[in-house]
Amino acid sequence: FMLFSLIYFVYLLVPKERWVNVLCVSAVIIASLASYGLFYRPVESRYYSYIHTERSLEYRNEMRLHEKIVRQLKESYPAYSVGAPFITAHILAYPELGYVKTPFDVVIYNMNVAYEGIRNFPGLKNLDIKNHVWIGFIGNIPGWTDFPVDPKDKVLEEVYAGNKYATLFRGGFAIEKFAAFVYSQQQLREEILRKKIQQQ
């Protein structure tokens, strides 16, 4: 808005239409380039970087990536249960979000939910991992270089959209390890809290 207001102001001051046309075309080109983050510092392609990419149209790569993931799951893994992190799990489970017409059987990892349509990660021993496909994005958890895809997991394929990509894989061993780690930390915090209460 500011850019085009400036152009209009110049248009009022400059009588020569040729220069106004050049300025307008230049403004449109600059605005188009800027809409994909030209004037911003690049954001590393991580799963939760969409928080930063909403500053411009960069977030469209996130939307395209999820569209491609849904298409690939429909074509190649229609009968499989799908394990996904928070946002992707919701996209696959709720047609209201506009990505699916028929919801997938979804297991969420890294976070639990308390509403219908999505199952919480129950541990690999309680899942039929032969009929389960996991969706993994570049992790952003310090110290967990092999998360969410473990070296023991079988990578099926990678789906790309611009500078974003997701890995479809089978196994879920790193997800199991991380869930066990989080559970142990919760137990430790509860134990520390219990001791503090007893001391009071």
Span 61-76, pLDDT tens digits:
888 999 999 999 999 9
Contacts of 51 (CB under 8 A, 6+ apart): none
Given a cut of 60, whether residue 47 has pLDDT beyond it is no
Cα separation, 140 vs 46, in Å, equals 7
Cα(59)–Cα(50) distance, rounded to whole angstroms?
6
Which ranges constitute the DSSP H helices of the chain?
2-13, 17-34, 50-53, 60-76, 86-93, 173-199
Highest mean pLDDT among 33-42, 166-175, 178-187, 191-200: 166-175
Return the amino acid letter for 179.
Answer: A
Which of 98-112, 130-144, 166-180 is predicted with the least confidence, judged by mean pLDDT?
130-144
131, pLDDT greater than 70: yes
DSSP 8-state secondary structure symbol assigned to residue 131: G
* More confident call, 44 vs 99: 99
CA distance 28 to 39: 15
The per-residue pLDDT of the chain, averaged, comes to 84
Which of the residue ranges 12-21, 67-76, 115-124, 157-166 would you say has the lowest mean pLDDT? Answer: 12-21
Residue 52 has what pLDDT? 67
Task: Tell me what pLDDT residue 51 has.
Answer: 65
Q: Which residues pair with 183 in a beta bridge?
A: none
CA quadruple 54, 59, 60, 62: dihedral, nearest 10: -150
Instruction: Quote the pTM value.
Output: 0.75
